[in-house]
Each structure stands twice: as C-alpha cells, then as structure tokens.
Amino acid sequence: MDTNTFPKMDLSDNTTGCCPRFNPAGWDNRHLHFEDKKFLRATTRSAMHIPWNMGQVFTRVQGHIDDANAADPATEIVLSRDTSAWEGEHFFAVDKDVPEEEMTTLSGDFITRVFEGPYRKAKNFEHDIKIAAKAMGKEAQAVYFFYTTCPKCAKAYGENYMVGVAQV
C-alpha cells in the first residue's frame, strides 16, 4: 500500500468540459494510508444538509489552489462531510501550502467503498461503510465522501458515483 496516494483517475474521458467521467475500477474496497497528507480545509454553510454557498467557496478555493500551483490534476480529490445540518467540511488534496487558506493534514488508515445513487442517499451510504468497517473488525472514526462529479455532469453521464472514505 502506497502512502499518501489515491487510485489514479482517467481525466481524458471528459465529454462535458467540466468533470471527467468517473471510472470506479480500482476505487472500491481499497485501503489507503496517509501520513501527514496535506489538505486545504474549507467549510460551507448549509440548511438542513443542503449547501448554500458551496459554489462560492469551491470557486475561491480552486482559484487559490491554481494560483499556488498546488494541485495535481490526477489526484484533485475533495473529501467532504457534514459536521452538522448547518455546516459542511471539505478537504482538498494539495501538494503544498496554499496562501490565504487553512491548511491541515490527515494521517491514518482509510477504507473506500464506491456508491452510485442520488446525493440524498449519502446518509445510507455512510451507514453502509460503517458496517463494512465493522465487518473488518474496525470502527469508522470519520466518514468522508469524494463526490466524483458535479450534479450537472452526473446528470449528463447518467451515473452519480460517490466514494466513501472512512478512517478506521
């Protein structure tokens, strides 16, 4: 198992000009290990788990990441989770510090599960990955989701993949 890496993504299959089509091969049932993996942390406001300012926050953050030349397009992953019904937390994988943004690291072992379905089922998917961790004799300490495409691209591709990433 490599440290601080994600499975590779094929960025060439991009008919929307926005998000590349996600290929789930290699993402399901993976074990990841991070040692001080660098992330940029940002928060969004929500109303009953529905984001209010996600576009504004993601646009600002992506601009800062681009300005700092801190992204590797093949591993441009955002891990997201709701910390409450009113706030979301997002971790943008980066290669170096990004000025004007909050930097953090993640360390530990993680498992992945690929899910396909509407965003409203994320709570069910979170439950499923916690059960998978328990079946492995582990406990999911935190569960994040990598939303592989934006809603418009998910509709265009006819598939809405999400990767659950649970720290165990």
62-118: pLDDT as tens digits:
999 999 999 977 678 999 999 999 999 999 999 999 999 999 999 999 999 999 999
Q: How many CA atoms lie within 13 A of 8 on its CB side?
A: 2
DSSP code of 3? B
Assign 147 to helix, strand or coil: strand
User: 11 falls in which pLDDT band (50, 70, 90)?
Assistant: confident
Assign 162 to helix, strand or coil: strand
Degrees to nearest 5, angle at CA 78 with 77 and 81:
145
Tokens of residue 39, six digits: 């992330």
User: What is the full DSSP assignment across 83-143?
Assistant: EETTEEEEEEE-SS--TTSEEEEEEEEEEEEEEES-GGGHHHHHHHHHHHHHHTT---SEE
Tokens of residue 107, six digits: 């360390």
Tokens of residue 22, six digits: 């996600």
Q: What are phi and psi of 70, to 5 degrees?
A: -105, 5
Degrees to nearest 5, angle at CA 145 with 140 and 146:
135
The whole-angstrom separation of Cα 33 and Cα 49 is 29
108-148: pLDDT as tens digits:
999 999 999 998 899 999 999 999 999 999 999 999 999 99
Nearest partner of 112 among 32, 8, 22, judged by Cα: 32
